[in-house]
Amino acid sequence: MVAVAVSWGWFLGAVPLLCLAFWHAADAWYRAVFFLKHRSGKGANGIRPRLPPGHMGLPFLGETMSLLWYFKHVRRPDDFIGAKRRAYGGEKVGMYRTHLFGSPTIVACMPATNKFIFQAGSDTFGIHWPVPELVGLSSIVNVEGSNHTRVRGVILGAINRPSSLRTIAATVQPGVVAALNSWADMGTIVASNEAKKMFISMEPSSLTVKMDQWFTSLVAGLRAFPLDFPGTACHDARKCRRKLNTVFQAELEDRKNTNKKYDDVMSGFMELEDEQGKKLSDDEVVDNIVSVVVAGYESTASAIMWATYHLAKCPDVLAKLREENMMMSKRKGRSSFITHDDIPKMKYTTKVVEETIRMANIAPMTHRVAKRDVEYGGYTIPKGWQVLVLVRSLHTDPNYYEDPLTFNPDRWDEPAKPGTYQVFGGGNRICPGNMLARLQLTIMLHHLSIGYE
Ligand code: HEM
């Protein structure tokens, strides 16, 4: 009897102790490694370097399951960082240590901290993709330094200059009007699916349907755990990436063998030369064209889908939007096509666009990797650690936006507090498609509000 009681005692005491030890093992390990590395060193202020507060979670898994739980299961993504704030120092601390997607990680979530990371040079924070082949090895989102500047210049020229935006506005509008007509004919639509087709200039065919599926799987793979074996999202995404590369490679070959002039991003990439007159290789052209489509296509479609959702929920906003756009339409006459230069006059529509993008949080976080030990705010971000800039936590923070989860375009009567609106990132990787995304959304809202209930 005594022996049984002792065994139970051991068991009941040992199990919680083992669990506790298991829970703290990874954190203790990383702290020990950091301590040993810095035991004789002094930081910038003569203080011994220290890790940002936080916890590394379970061995190997880290806190990935917890992040996914908040983002995907309970659908309260802000509670992930909210829990950290409550546990480790409230509003004052702008970053936390954790372990996500297989890497030790610092999550940044304050305007000043995020800005510091965005604006530090690529020798301080580089690019980190768990599976670089998925985004393309020579794509803008993967390259750094002069290669990045070179490719970025082409993309900015093709989609961000006022002259390009004027051309794009004129080119895409007939397609938007036709798409809205077809929505009306269908009666009920799945906005997230239909919005994707709205700005694709390729003639619809069985190939474009397949490409749409391949792009969707590719994006799913980029967001999935980087496990690559048959049946995983990452494996599927790799296959889709190869198929997309083949399609664009064939398009590239066709263009090389014709005299026809194209005025689009792909031809921009094909014609680009560096100072030595060297052109981009075919692989570089294909990698970048796929990246631009991935970055622009899903994000804009998602913003359009959210705009239709909020307008359906907020009839008063729709009424004001309609009033402004009806007036614009009357001024424009029969075709009612707006131009890029009309946009500054569409004050209420612009507020609806900004509020939609703020609430949609389409890119909730961006990724970097620390290329050296980086000191900031009294803490050290260790070399080699992944850095996640969680921009969405700013856009849903009641300290920066009153009643942040309410769709209220009128909040944009005042500009956002400095540094609290980072939907398009910042620094030298700020989204080059930000004006295009706003333009596309404005065009769609104009035609939706003047033509349909
Ligand atoms: C509402 C729509 C959009 C949102 C919220 C958005 C958001 C972002 C963010 C946050 C970044 C920065 C990533 C980082 O710092 O690593 C980014 C980069 C990028 N975006 Fe967008 N984007 C949108 C639309 C577009 C469109 C329409 C295009 C092009 C057609 C585009 C092309 C790109 C490209 C090429 C990059 C990489 C820039 C670089 O690494 O230099 N985006 N986007």
Residue 39 to residue 390: CA distance in whole angstroms = 31
Q: What is the mean pLDDT of the chain?
A: 89
Please tell me the predicted confidence (pLDDT) of residue 43. 62
List of residues 6+ apart from 393 with CB closer than 8 A = 78, 81, 109
Ligand 1 atom nearest residue 391's Cα: 10
- pLDDT tens digits, one per residue of 429-453: 999 999 999 999 999 999 999 988 8
- Provide the pLDDT for residue 267: 81
Residue 176 has pLDDT above 90, yes or no: no
The CA 433 to ligand 1 mean position distance, Å, reads: 6
Of the three residues 38, 70, 100, the one that is the final residue of a domain is: 100
Average pLDDT over residues 122-130: 90
Q: Label residue 296 by pLDDT band (50, 70, 90).
A: confident
CA of 292 to the centre of ligand 1 (A): 8
pLDDT of residue 322: 97
For residue 54, list its beta bridge partners: 97
CA distance 346 to 325: 8
pLDDT at residue 93 tops 90: no
> Where is average pLDDT lowest: 25-39, 138-152, 185-199, 247-261?
185-199
Q: Which residue has the higher pLDDT, 113 or 47?
A: 113
Query: Average pLDDT for residues 405-423, to the nearest whole number?
Result: 97
DSSP string computed for 116-135:
HHHHS-TTTEE---SSHHHH
Cα–Cα distance list, 377 to 117, 338, 361 (Å): 12, 47, 27
Residue 301 scores a pLDDT above 70: yes
Looking at the domain assignment, is residue 91 inside a domain?
Answer: yes
Strand partners for 108: 95, 389
- How confident is residue 197, by pLDDT bands cut at 50, 70 and 90? low
Gap from CA of 164 to ligand 1 centroid (Å): 17
Return the pLDDT at 189: 80
Q: Are residues 161 and 85 in the same domain?
A: no
Do residue 179 and residue 77 come from a single domain? Answer: no
Instruction: Identify the CA nearest to 155 among candidates 411, 434, 386.
Output: 434
Q: Does residue 384 contact residue 416 with C-beta atoms inside 8 Å?
A: no
Does one domain contain both 187 and 242? yes
Report if residue 373 sits inside a domain.
Answer: no
Instruction: Output the pLDDT for position 234.
Output: 94
* Per-residue pLDDT at 199: 53
Please check the confidence at residue 2 and state whether its pLDDT lies above 60: yes
Q: What is the mean pLDDT of residues 363-376?
A: 94
Residue 362 falls within a domain, yes or no? no
Output the pLDDT for position 44.
59
DSSP letter for each residue of 81-112: HHHHHHHTTGGG--EEEEEETTEEEEEE-SHH
Q: How confident is the model at residue 129 (pLDDT cuts 50, 70, 90)?
A: confident
Residue 115 is inside which H or E element, if any?
A: helix 111-119
Q: What is the DSSP string of 164-229?
A: HHHHHHHHHHHHHHHHHHHHHHHSS--HHHHHHHTT--SPP-HHHHHHHHHHHHHHHHHHS----S
CB contact at 8 A, 114 and 394: yes
Residue 78 domain-assigned (yes or no): yes
Instruction: Kindly give the number of the ligand 1 atom that is closest to the alpha carbon of 361.
Output: 5
pLDDT at 277: 75
User: Is the backbone of residue 276 left (phi > 0), alpha (psi -120 to 50) or beta?
Assistant: alpha
For residues 217 and 304, state if they share a domain. yes
What residues are in contact with ligand 1 under a 6 Å CB criterion?
140-141, 152, 155, 159, 291-292, 295-296, 299-300, 303, 357, 362-363, 366, 423-425, 429, 431-433, 436-437
59 and 201 housed in the same domain: no
8: pLDDT strictly greater than 90: no
* Domain-embedded: residue 261: yes
For the segment 200-204, the average pLDDT, to the nearest whole number, is 57
Ligand 1 atom having least distance to the Cα of 297 = 27
What pLDDT was estimated at residue 437?
A: 94
- Domain CATH code at residue 265: 1.10.630.10
Which residue's CA is the closest to the ligand 1 atom numbered 41?
Answer: 429
**What domain range is 85 assigned to?**
2-100
| b/e 343-365 (16+ beta carbons within 10 angstroms → b) | beebebbbbbbbbbbbbbbbbbb
Position 203 scores a pLDDT of 61
**Comparing C-alpha atoms, which of 146, 55, 95 is closest to residue 390?**
95
The domain tally of the chain equals 2
Rounded to 10 degrees, what is the CA torsion of 411, 415, 421, 423? 80
Kindly state the tokens that stand for 119: 């604006």
My answer on whether 196 and 335 are in the same domain is yes
Q: By alpha-carbon position, which residue is closest to atom 16 of ligand 1? A: 366
Q: Are residues 152 and 225 in the same domain?
A: yes
Instruction: Express as a percent the part of the chain with pLDDT over 70.
Output: 95
More confidently predicted of 225 and 387: 387
The atom number, within ligand 1, closest to the CA of 422 reads 10
Q: Looking at the structure, do residues 161 and 281 belong to the same domain, yes or no? A: yes
Q: Whose CA is nearest to atom 40 of ligand 1?
A: 141
State in Å: Cα 288 to ligand 1 middle.
13
Q: Residue 175: pLDDT above 80?
A: yes
- Tokens found for residue 196: 């994707």
Say whether both 84 and 149 belong to one domain. no
Among 53-67, 180-194, 278-292, name the most confident range. Answer: 53-67
Residue 183 and residue 68 share a domain: no
Which pTM value belongs to this model? 0.90
Residue 155 is inside which H or E element, if any? Answer: helix 145-159
In DSSP terms, which residues pair with 98 in a beta bridge? 105
Residue among 424, 428, 438 to mutate when testing ligand 1 (max atoms within 8 A of CB)? 424
To test the pocket of ligand 1, the residue of 129, 299, 387 to mutate (highest count of ligand atoms within 8 Å of its CB) is 299
Distance 429 CA to ligand 1 centre (A): 8
For residues 427 and 144, is the Cβ–Cβ distance under 8 A? no
Cβ pair 105, 388 in contact under 8 A: yes
Predicted confidence (pLDDT) at residue 12 exceeds the cutoff of 70: yes
Residue nearest (by alpha carbon) to ligand 1 atom 27: 296
Distance 295 CA to ligand 1 centre (A): 6
Among 84, 100, 116, the domain boundary falls at 100
Provide the pLDDT confidence category of residue 412 given band limits of 50, 70 and 90. Answer: very high
Distance 162 CA to ligand 1 centre (A): 18
pLDDT given for residue 204 in this prediction: 63
Rounded to an integer, the average pLDDT of 418-432 is: 96
Q: In whole angstroms, give the CA distance from residue 166 to residue 163.
A: 5
Residue 416 in domain = no
Give the mean pLDDT of 202-217.
Answer: 80
- 162 and 16 co-located in one domain: no
Q: What are phi and psi of 107, to 5 degrees?
A: -105, 120
Is pLDDT above 70 for 38?
A: yes
- Tell me: do 58 and 157 sit in the same domain: no
7/201 Cα distance (integer angstroms): 72
Ligand 1, atom 39: closest residue by C-alpha: 429
The whole-number pLDDT of residue 236 equals: 96
Whole-number Å distance, alpha carbon 291 to ligand 1 midpoint, is 10
Q: Ligand 1 test: best mutation among 431, 439, 441, most atoms within 8 Å of CB? A: 431
Among 448, 168, 446, which Cα is nearest to 328's?
Answer: 446
Query: In this predicted structure, what is the pLDDT of residue 22?
Result: 83
Looking at the domain assignment, is residue 393 inside a domain?
A: no
Output the pLDDT for position 150: 87
Shortest-distance Cα residue to atom 7 of ligand 1? 424
Residue 109 assigned ligand-binding role? no
* Structural domain contains residue 231: yes
Task: Kindly give the distance from the C-alpha atom of residue 149 to the centroid of ligand 1, in angstroms, as a whole number.
Answer: 15
pLDDT at 182 (0 to 100)? 87
